[in-house]
């Protein structure tokens, strides 16, 4: 029996699958999700994936792109088990999720601390992609072809990758919108050696972000209001239902 969608996002202005070549964009399309995996995406409304239990999410006026992955988030390494420490870690995970970051590369943390996070922590690895921290003036002047954008480094506690991406794009207008987006999802996934994340494609994890606009350039040029309108992690609509 052919699978049907448990969640269907319709009428999206643009979808950025971020499958090579990255500048391929689907206009006026849909994303069909079956539990935690992407079932299909393409042009049209995707009505063939609907059954009686399918939840429909209206995407008119919005664009969709992959969930963010940050390769260099630094959590406190001196937590002593105090209640306030666990609350802070939980709030940090919620804040990351609300801003679109679903997976973080970090130093090893024990299972008790991992259980407090809403995001998925992954142990950092050495990789060939440079990490850019746009909140550091020394970093903002560098321009790379393939790189990772990180929002949280050392004492800087921004936790908003999209804001950092906007800063980097502002300083490097020669880079395309998809180069900037790839630095928040595709290259971090490769750097952490993760599979089935960082792109929107059938059978991959349904980690989807939605923002208002017709293109990702609209998002990069918006400096006011909420940027991420919908956060769908592993097929579950986390935000705006997530209260922070």
pLDDT along the chain (244 residues), means of 10: 91 96 94 97 95 94 97 69 71 89 89 82 90 77 87 70 92 94 97 97 98 95 85 93 55
Q: Which residues of 152-170 are buried (b: 16+ CB within 10 A; e: fewer)?
A: bbeeeebbbbbebbbbbbe
Per-residue model confidence (pLDDT) at position 145: 87
| HSE, side-chain direction, 13 A CA sphere, residue 76 | 16
* C-alpha to C-alpha distance for 138 and 135, rounded to whole angstroms: 9
Longest dimension (CA), the chain: 56
- pTM for the predicted model, two decimal places: 0.92
User: How would you write the chain as a 3-class SS string?
Assistant: CCCCCCEEEEEEEEECCCCCCCCCCEEEEEEEEECCEEEEEEECCCHHHCCCCCEEEECCCEEEEECEEECCCCCCCCCCCCHHHHHHHHHHHHHHHHCCEEEEEECCCCHHHHCCCCCEEEECCCCCCCEECCCCHHHHCCCCCCCEECCEECCEECCCHHHHHHHHHHHCCCCCHHHHHHCCCHHHHHHCCCCCCCCCCCCCECCEEEEECCCHHHHHCCCCCCCCCEEEECCEEEECCCCC
Per-residue model confidence (pLDDT) at position 83: 55
Burial of 110 by CB count in 10 Å (0-12 exposed, 13-18 middle, 19+ buried)? exposed
Per-residue model confidence (pLDDT) at position 14: 98
Per-residue model confidence (pLDDT) at position 108: 85
Any residues with CB less than 8 A from the CB of 75 and at least 6 apart, and which? 89, 92, 106, 107, 109, 113
């Amino acid at each position: 029996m052919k699978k049907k969608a448990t969640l269907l996002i319709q009428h999206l202005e643009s979808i950025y699958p971020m499958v090579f070549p990255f500048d391929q964009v689907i206009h006026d399309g849909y994303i069909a999700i079956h539990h935690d995996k992407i079932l299909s995406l393409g042009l049209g409304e995707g009505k063939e994936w609907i059954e009686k239990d399918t939840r429909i999410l209206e995407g008119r006026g919005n664009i969709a792109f992959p969930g963010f992955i940050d390769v260099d988030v630094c959590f406190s390494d001196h937590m002593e088990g105090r209640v306030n420490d666990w609350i802070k870690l939980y709030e940090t995970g919620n804040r990351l999720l609300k801003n679109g970051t679903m997976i973080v590369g970090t130093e090893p943390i024990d299972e008790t601390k991992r259980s407090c996070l809403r995001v998925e922590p992954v142990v950092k690895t050495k990789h060939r992609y440079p990490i850019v921290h746009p909140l550091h003036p020394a970093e903002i002047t560098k321009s790379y072809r393939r790189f990772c954008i990180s929002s949280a480094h050392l004492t800087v506690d921004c936790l908003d990758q999209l804001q950092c991406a906007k800063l980097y794009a502002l300083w490097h207008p020669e880079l395309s919108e998809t180069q900037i987006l790839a630095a928040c999802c595709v290259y971090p996934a490769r750097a952490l050696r993760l599979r089935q994340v960082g792109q929107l494609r059938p059978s991959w994890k349904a980690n989807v972000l939605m923002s208002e606009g017709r293109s990702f350039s609209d998002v990069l040029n918006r400096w006011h209001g909420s940027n991420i309108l919908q956060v769908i992690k592993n097929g579950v609509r986390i935000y705006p239902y997530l209260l922070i």
